[in-house]
Amino acid sequence: MIIRSKAPLRIGLAGGGSDVAPYSEIYGGAILNATVTMYAYATIKPTNESKIVFHATDKEERYEYKSDKKLPIDGKLDLFKGIYNRIIEDYKLEPLSFELSTFVDAPPGSGLGTSSTLVTAVLGAFVEWLKLPLGEYDIARLSYKIERIDLDMAGGKQDQYAATFGGVNFMEFSTDDKVIVNPLRIKPLILNELAFNLVLFNTETSRFSSQIIEAQRQNVINKNKNSIEAMHNIKNQALMMKEALLRGQLDRMGDLLNDGWHHKKQMASNITTPLLEKIYQTALNAGASGGKISGAGGGGFMFFYCPNNSRNSVIKALEQFGGQAKRYEFTQIGLTSWTVS
């Protein structure tokens, strides 16, 4: 028997950062995101060998442990061990014996929510294998707890919910720690046009999102007026972006992205770099009307709205930076798991 799962990565169209505490706990947050046809995959093969094998094939990391009720958190694929430890503890299970292998279509630090999506995919495989009584909100919430609380990894809440639910979603994060996922019914014509006009560019750089998120957190804690005002504007943009998308006003989204980029840079000093600024301006000079860095900032993927058939000219102009435009489509399907007998 083999158990498999996959969960989609996401593009954060607007509101990114307003889901990060303490901002979300004080002011509430709002985010518009959409999942794309890039995935985190997980495969579990149960064994009778009284051992646990973790294999991140894309990172070429492999570790083996004796089956136990709790595995050490020691910097070696801790995401996997955090999931295992939480499941064993919550459901009072005896030690399991299995091989877990994973693969993600984007590298760590890409800004597409890779680590959270991977947690969701692995958790989904365990839910399928052990028949755990968890619905979509349960899986997303537990993924968040494992990553942010159990493992104390910095970040927000949107990625786990995007990976679990899939599709285009307007998410609300209340001050009392509730999350509401509002799926948006977007006509295929509009989504196809948006995917065509929105160029996803891999800058071939990576960043430590935790450092950026910590700077953002400190700005809120220290009541940095400019930073907090920027976060308010970013949150309001999620509302405006949602309206533009629902009305099919795609070209307006480019202008909103451009405004959002300037606000986002005020949230923390390390969100942008001279290279990212040069890439952004080059895209605008080639015909893009707006764009943003995906995720916390500092590197990874950027995306640009390219109206008036300017897509190819923007891609051509960006070739000088050595990165690559990534082909994708939007997907409405979230976490999926299945068993092969």
Answer yes or no: do 271 and 259 share one domain: yes
Contacts for 178-187 with beta carbons within 8 Å, 24 or more apart? 179/137, 179/140, 179/141, 181/137, 184/242, 184/245, 184/246, 186/245, 186/246, 187/248
226: closest CA among 254, 259, 257, 262?
262
> Would you list the DSSP string of 243-308?
HHHHTT-HHHHHHHHHHHHHHHTTT-TTS--HHHHHHHHHHHHTT--EEEESTTSSSSEEEEE--T
Answer yes or no: do 153 and 270 share one domain: no
- Catalytic residue numbers read 159
**339 in any annotated domain:** no
Q: What is the pTM of this model?
A: 0.93
**203 in any annotated domain:** yes
The residue from 157, 185, 213 where one domain ends is: 185
The pLDDT of residue 74 is 93
CATH (domain of 303): 3.30.70.890
Give the three-state DSSP class for 225.
helix
**111 in any annotated domain:** yes
Answer yes or no: do 13 and 155 share one domain: yes
Strand order across the beta sheet in which 198-202 lies: 290-293, 301-305, 198-202, 324-326
Answer yes or no: do 222 and 300 share one domain: yes
The pLDDT of residue 300 is 83
| Phi, psi for 7 (deg, rounded to 5) | -140, 140
**340 in any annotated domain:** no
Answer yes or no: do 140 and 247 share one domain: no
Q: What domain range includes position 110?
A: 2-185
**333 in any annotated domain:** no
**341 in any annotated domain:** no
The pLDDT of residue 6 is 98
Answer yes or no: do 172 and 200 share one domain: no
Number of domains in the chain: 2
Q: Is the dihedral of CA 20, 326, 284, 238 positive or negative?
A: negative
Answer yes or no: do 215 and 169 share one domain: no
The residue from 185, 216, 243 where one domain ends is: 185
Q: How far does the chain reach from its first CA to its final CA, in angstroms?
A: 4
Answer yes or no: do 216 and 89 share one domain: no
CATH (domain of 179): 3.30.230.120
- In angstroms, the CA 286 to CA 277 distance is 14
Answer yes or no: do 158 and 205 share one domain: no
The pLDDT of residue 110 is 85
The residue from 185, 212, 232 where one domain ends is: 185
Which residue ranges in the chain fall short of pLDDT 50? none
**331 in any annotated domain:** no
Answer yes or no: do 240 and 161 share one domain: no
Answer yes or no: do 39 and 110 share one domain: yes
The pLDDT of residue 207 is 57
Answer yes or no: do 192 and 151 share one domain: no
